[in-house]
């Protein structure tokens, strides 16, 4: 009976620890994560005037393995153009970052799970430094029980510029290293 109780309590503690790891909003530390950083210059599709309008976006996508789980998160930062108005909530009709966990295999890596992070739109439209749109956003952590297969984190920024008439445009970034 004592062995059963010890095994049951060990399983309960392991489950509690795993559940806590799944619910984290963002990693408290980068310990164990392997990351890839990529850069992209994104044109403001709603503006075609003479002034510079590109947004320079840097994305770091990180992944780690813990037992049979793969965890991933992304950090985005950007340096937007100088606009005449600051804090313009009408720059985008919509914006989000889709974080993904994929199985690493030859050919196309299939998406195992994904989550859209919509909190980025308000950050993109908020100019905290005058008329310059410079800010950052870190997603929450996404986890998936992958078993013994190798996995990776990936993501894409989806932007729907206000008044451009084209809906969402997808901007892909480099995936994390395979874990």
| Beta carbons within 8 Å of 19's beta carbon, 6+ residues apart | none
Does residue 130 fall inside a structural domain? yes
Does residue 178 fall inside a structural domain? no
Does residue 93 fall inside a structural domain? yes
Does residue 75 fall inside a structural domain? yes
DSSP for 23-70, written as a single string: T-SS-S--TT-EEEEEEEEEE-TT--SSS--EEEEEEEEEEEEETTEE
Identify the pLDDT of residue 85: 52
Does residue 112 fall inside a structural domain? yes
Low-confidence ranges of the chain (pLDDT < 50): 1-28, 86-87, 131
Residue-range definition of the domain harbouring residue 103: 2-172
Domain tally, the chain? 1
Instruction: Give the pTM.
Output: 0.77
Identify the pLDDT of residue 21: 40
Identify the pLDDT of residue 15: 38
């Amino acid at each position: 009976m004592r062995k059963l109780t010890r095994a049951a309590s060990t399983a309960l503690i392991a489950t509690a620890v795993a559940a806590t790891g799944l619910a984290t909003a963002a990693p408290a530390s980068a310990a164990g994560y392997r990351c890839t950083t990529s850069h992209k210059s994104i044109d403001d599709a709603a503006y075609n005037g003479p002034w510079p309008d590109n947004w320079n976006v840097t994305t770091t996508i990180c992944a780690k393995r813990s037992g049979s789980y793969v965890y991933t998160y992304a950090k985005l930062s950007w340096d937007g153009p100088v606009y005449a108005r600051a804090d313009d909530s009408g720059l985008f009709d919509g914006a989000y970052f889709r974080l993904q966990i994929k199985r690493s295999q030859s050919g196309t890596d299939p998406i195992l799970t994904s989550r859209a992070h919509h909190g980025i739109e308000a950050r993109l439209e908020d100019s905290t430094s005058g008329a310059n749109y410079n800010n950052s956003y870190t997603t929450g952590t996404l986890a998936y029980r992958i078993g013994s297969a190798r996995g990776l984190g990936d993501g894409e920024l989806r932007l729907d510029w206000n008044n451009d008439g084209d809906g969402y445009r997808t901007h892909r970034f480099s995936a994390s290293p395979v874990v």
